[in-house]
Amino acid sequence: MVERRSIATLLQLPPSEDRLFGPNPSVSLNATYYEGQRSAYGRHTNPTWEAFEALIGELEGGTAVAFGSGAAATFALLLALGPRALVVADSYMGTRQLARWLGARIPGIELVEPSDLDAHLDRLAPGSVVLIETPSNPLLVTYPIATLAKRIHERGGLLAVDSTLATPVLQRPLTLGADVVVHSASKFLSGHSDVLGGVLVASDEDLVARVGEVRELTGAIIGPVEAYLCFRGLRTLAVRVERASATATTLAMRLRDRLGDTVRYPGFDSELVGPGRQQSAGGALVALELESAQQADAMLDGLSLFHHATSLGGVESLAERRGRYPGEDRIGEGLVRLSVGLEDVEDLWGDLDRALTRAGL
């Protein structure tokens, strides 16, 4: 049924007997429940989590499990579905660090370069899980979900997709053949830079139970207030993502006219991105591969409307030189990631234009 409705329509469905929420859920702050109530303890479940899980699960077309952060959701995925797990290295720095940390302690969890993925898939062991991020962060590469899912399933494996940058507004991996979807809810899902949260969605109830068990045993739960804020963020997800994506597309095209092929944007991938394709629009992130850290820093110093800060997916526009982090060892020191917010497109372009001119670009 999800495929036949728009995201905006799903977010405005009237309450019914099989739903846990009306316009907004209540915030349940109970850590202890009395005998005979719905749960024994607050680490097991919470009605506010369940409202958020029900809504994001419906948007993605599966059953959701919420976590205290995106990293916690990824940890649960690798722990529950491993130990045979391949994590494609073209992904968020925190994911790579987690894969290395776990791989040093659990044989079978391996970080692999995209250029080596074909060889690894040829010898993939049954029961293995492969985790990709598309679009990837911060290089913004798109990977063919349906093609990879078919190939991995032929070997008896599972495909997990980190779809944080696309959100279910632009991309629904489960409908393309993926087995699991992961999101950092701290980003677009909550959308206001005020929450840490994560979520994992799968259509197979056994997978859901396995990751849910990891959450319960490790205590990697999302707080009820945070779950409420994530639920509230979902109510405006479609309009925020669509607006930010349209603005980012305009900025990316103008930046490419000025800077050429140094500009990275998922919307430039005409095979996988566009109406009726894997990802319906380019999304809200743009990356600039500038020549040096000095050139990138000079540009950042010239910005006033784009705030110099980490993270992404909020209503405000952010810019950051990702190469300043020692863990970003796969990119050039001059790569600048732009997270486009909800400001006026011409105001944002004026800010970028002035900063680029100041940096001699």
Its CATH architecture, for the domain 238-358, is Alpha-Beta Complex (3.90)
Intervals of CATH 3.90.1150.10 along the chain: 238-358
**CA 156 to chain CA centroid, nearest Å:** 25
pLDDT given at position 113: 96
Which amino acid makes up residue 346?
E
The verdict on whether 43 is a catalytic residue reads: yes
- Do 147 and 278 touch, CB atoms closer than 8 A? no
Intervals of CATH 3.40.640.10 along the chain: 2-235
Q: Read off the pTM.
A: 0.94
| CATH placement of domain 2-235 | 3.40.640.10
pLDDT given at position 12: 64
- Do 181 and 66 touch, CB atoms closer than 8 A? no
Which amino acid makes up residue 25?
P
Active-site residue (options: 96, 151, 172, 187)? 187
pLDDT given at position 26: 85
Active-site residue (options: 43, 232, 258, 354)? 43
The verdict on whether 155 is a catalytic residue reads: no
pLDDT given at position 96: 97
Those residues whose C-beta lies under 8 Å from the C-beta of residue 136, and which sit 6 or more positions away, are 90, 91, 92, 142, 143, 165
Taking only Cα atoms into account, the Rg of the chain, rounded to an integer number of angstroms, comes to 20
pLDDT given at position 129: 97
- By C-alpha distance, which of 237, 166, 220 is closest to 9? 237
Per-residue pLDDT in tens (0 to 9) along the chain, 361 residues:
334 456 667 666 555 544 445 577 889 898 988 888 877 888 998 989 999 999 999 999 999 999 999 999 999 999 998 789 999 999 999 999 999 999 999 989 999 999 999 999 999 999 999 999 999 999 999 999 999 999 999 999 999 999 999 999 999 999 999 999 999 999 999 999 999 999 999 999 999 999 999 999 999 999 999 999 999 999 999 999 999 999 999 999 999 999 999 999 999 999 999 999 999 999 999 999 999 999 999 999 999 999 999 999 999 999 999 999 998 989 999 999 999 999 999 999 999 999 999 999 9
- By C-alpha distance, which of 200, 186, 189 is closest to 231? 189
Distance CA 112, CA 335 (A): 22
Active-site residue (options: 84, 96, 143, 162)? 162
Active-site residue (options: 84, 92, 215, 330)? 92
The verdict on whether 325 is a catalytic residue reads: no
pLDDT given at position 2: 39
User: What are the b/e assignments for 203-227, b being 16+ CB within 10 Å?
Assistant: beeebbebbbebbeeeebbbbbebb
Cis? peptide before 83, omega within 30° of 0: yes
3-state SS, one letter per residue, for the chain: CHHHCCHHHHHCCCCCCCCCCCCCCCCCCCCECCCCCCCCECCCCCHHHHHHHHHHHHHHCCEEEEECCHHHHHHHHHHHHCCCEEEECCCCHHHHHHHHHHHCCCCCEEEECHHHHHHHHHCCCCCCEEEEECCCCCCCCCCCHHHHHHHHHHCCCEEEEECCCCHHHHCCHHHHCCCEEEEECCCCCCCCCCCCCEEEEECCHHHHHHHHHHHHHHCCCCCHHHHHHHHHHHHCHHHHHHHHHHHHHHHHHHHHHHHHHHEECHHHCCCCECCCCCECCCCCEEEEECCCHHHHHHHHHCCCCCEECCCCCCCCCEEEEHHHCCCCCCCCCCEEEEECCCCCHHHHHHHHHHHHHHCCC
pLDDT given at position 88: 97
Those residues whose C-beta lies under 8 Å from the C-beta of residue 303, and which sit 6 or more positions away, are 319, 351, 352, 355
The verdict on whether 187 is a catalytic residue reads: yes
